[in-house]
Amino acid sequence: MRTMVGVLVTGLGLLVAALPALAHHSFAAEYDAKRPVTLHGVVTKVEWFNPHARFIIDVKDETGKVTTWNLELASPNALRRLGWTRDFLQVGGEVTVVGVLAKDGSKLATARSVTLADGRKMVAGSSASE
Amino acid sequence: MKKDLARSIVTTLFVAAVLILFSTPAPGQVQATGGGVAMTSLEHLKSKSSGPAPRTADGKPDLSGLWGPDPHFMGDFSAALKPGDVLPLQPWALKLTKERLPKDDPNANCLPAGVPRMAPYPWKVIQTPKLIVFLMEGNMHTYRQIFMDGRGHPKDMDPTWYGDSTGKWEGNTLVVDTVGFNDKFWFDSSGHPHTEKLHVIERYRRPDSGHLEFEVTIDDPGAYTKPFTLFGHSPLMVNTEIMEYFCVENNQDISHIVGTEKAGRAE
């Protein structure tokens, strides 16, 4: 019995591992799914271009120091098909972004969801959940 | 009795797990499948139609339409083999597959996918009696021409990303024969290679109005020990259109692709 459950769990693990997740590049080679991040900041720029829409935010810490982050979304085409519109992100607007950090240590993350100050939230990732 | 109960619990767990793994996500829900969010964005746009496939005025099956990609033709195309089959890679080709780095993937660099690789975007079939055109949204915004007028392949061809394609009908199946490929594209993001000896035969069928089925036979004596066949499915896409996609417009990824992990299955 225990063996059967073990085989089942191992089998499912392999299945999940076998499901690839990528856009036009390998997700896992650019982002570290084990390093999630939540950022709260103000949008300073929106780039609604392929292959990935992006937006830049300024994040202020407790000491007042500002850090600029580059946040990757899916392509505008995929975002449109998910119900996004180009004006969802507004320069000057406050956002909370849940995402995953880049592997190279730069101030870059891929966003999984974006929540606006008024509570509106969109699933946003350029990556699949892993 | 105890054993029966245990067995039924395992069965229930397994069914639940399978349902979770293969259930159709709601729009906006992220799921780990090939193509990531771009594939998820297409889920709710798949046609539910299962009526008879339409026919053209000359009585041929009409394959026209906007078709969704098959994720098996993205991360590791061996996923599209018949269960139990393995890729008959020659040793050098297996070695090269392992050595290739994600940053060098032509797709990541906004270069064409080649055949039969797919991107997580729809493609459109435009069918006329003498010419069939495939329009690809991504990974390159590009096209394939399939000549149906009985011509053969040119004798002197410069190798290209999509080669030279001629087509003919065998009953209800469109058979596309392509040669003249370059060796630059990768078959998938796992990096499976090929040579300029590549010869691809695709067989497309529309079993009902909402689905396209295809078989792709890869014959490349330069990189594989024998020909092999891949099996794919494309759903008809509704309430959407091909959208402009110029990957080079803002591709900032390459300098950040520092890892060696590939999207596909382990070798």
Rg (CA), chain B: 20
- Using CB atoms, pick whichever of B38, B40, B252 lies closest to residue A75: B38
B19 lies in some domain: no
pLDDT of residue A115: 96
Closest-CA distance, A122 to chain B, in angstroms, reads 7
Which helix (H) or strand (E) covers residue A117, if one does?
none
- Short-list B182, B144, B179, CA closest to B164: B179
Number of domains making up chain B:
1
pLDDT tens-digit series, residues A27-41: 788 888 899 999 999
> Is B32 inside any structural domain?
no
Residues of A in contact with B192 (CB under 8 A): none
Residues contacting B133, CB < 8 A, separation 6+: B125, B126, B143, B144, B145, B146
Q: Is the pLDDT of residue A26 over 80?
A: no
Contacts for B89 with CB less than 8 Å, ≥ 6 apart: B97, B192, B223, B224, B225
Please tell me the number of Cα atoms within 13 Å of A14 on its side-chain side.
8
Nearest to A24 among B6, B27, B108 (CB): B108
Q: For B53-62, what is the mean pLDDT?
A: 96
Cβ within 8 Å, pair B28-A122:
yes
Domain residue limits at B140: 45-256
Q: What is the mean pLDDT of residues B39-63?
A: 94
Question: A8, A26, A98: best mutation site toward chain B, by most B Cβ within 10 Å?
Answer: A26
- Residue B239 forms part of a structural domain: yes
Distance CA B266, CA B223 (A): 19
Instruction: Quickly state the pLDDT bin for B197 (edges 50, 70, 90).
Output: very high
Residues 61-90 of A with CB under 8 A from B: 70, 72, 74-83
Q: Look at A127 and B37 and tell me if their CB atoms are within 8 Å.
A: yes
Residue B255 has pLDDT above 70, yes or no: yes
Say whether pLDDT at A15 is over 60. Answer: no
Distance separating alpha carbons of residues B176 and B168, to the nearest angstrom: 7
3-state class of A3 per DSSP?
Answer: helix
Q: Does A116 touch chain B (CB under 8 A)?
A: no
Output the six-digit token pair for B104.
Answer: 């060098």
Q: Please indicate, yes or no, if residue B154 is contained in any of the structural domains.
A: yes
B95 is a domain residue: yes
Q: Within 10 Å of residue B226's Cβ, how many Cβ atoms?
A: 9
Partners of residue B262 in chain A, C-beta under 8 Å: 26, 28-29
Q: What is the ipTM of this complex?
A: 0.80
Q: Could you tell me which residues come within 8 angstroms of residue B11 by beta carbon, excluding any fewer than 6 positions away?
A: none
B206-252 residue pLDDT tens? 999 999 999 999 999 999 999 999 999 999 999 999 999 999 888 88
The predicted model scores a pTM of 0.82
Point out the residue among B17, B30, B255 whose CB comes nearest to the CB of A125: B30
Nearest neighbour of A23 by CB, restricted to B6, B36, B243: B36
End-to-end CA distance of chain A: 29
DSSP assignment of A10-71:
HHHHHHHHHS--BSSSBHHHHEEEEEEEEEEEEEEEEE--SS--EEEEEEE-TT--EEEEEE
Specify if B37 maps to a domain.
no
Strands B164-170 and B211-219: unpaired
The domain at A23-123 falls in which architecture?
Beta Barrel (2.40)
| Most B-contacting residue of A1, A14, A15, A22 (CB-CB within 10 A), to test interface | A22
Residues of A in contact with B254 (CB under 8 A): 25
- Domain ranges, ordered by start, for chain A: 23-123
Closest CA to B16 of A10, A130, A8: A8
Reported as half-sphere exposure (CB side, CA atoms, 13 A), residue A114 has a value of 28
